[in-house]
Amino acid sequence: MIALTIIQILQVLLDVVWWIIFVQFVLSLLMVFNVINMSNQFVRSLYSGLERLTEPMYRPLRRVLPNMGGIDFSPMVVLILISIFDIILRNIAVSILTGGAV
């Protein structure tokens, strides 16, 4: 049962990371289209905080991904990797619950 608890905790952490990336993406779109203004202290602090959280995940991918003319695909790649890892965790949990080999 401890393995299932660890898997569930990891899934919650993956969900939190997914939402952080999603909120940063929406916020950056709103800034690009001038819906919100970076001169607002709250917006600037929020975006800066989100950028500090996500930059360590994006940096290695940006070195590998080709330059697409200003479009950053690293958040999408991280979200895909999170989804793949979540599928793996779910399959391990099912395997544990059914008594199958891991």
Q: What is the pLDDT of residues 70-80, one digit of tens each?
A: 788 899 999 99
Residue 29: the pLDDT is: 85
Query: For position 59, what pLDDT does the model report?
Result: 93
The string of DSSP codes covering 75-93 is HHHHHHHHHHHHHHHHHHH
Q: What's the average model confidence in pLDDT over 44-66?
A: 93
CB atoms inside a 10 Å sphere around CB 65: 14
**pLDDT of residue 102 exceeding 80:** no
Higher pLDDT pick, 28 / 8:
8
Which carries the bigger pLDDT value, residue 72 or residue 51?
51
- Tell me the Cα Rg of the chain: 17
**Domain assignment of residue 47, given as a range:** 2-98
Q: Report the domain count for the chain.
A: 1
Q: What angle do CA 78, 42, 74 make, to 5 degrees?
A: 15
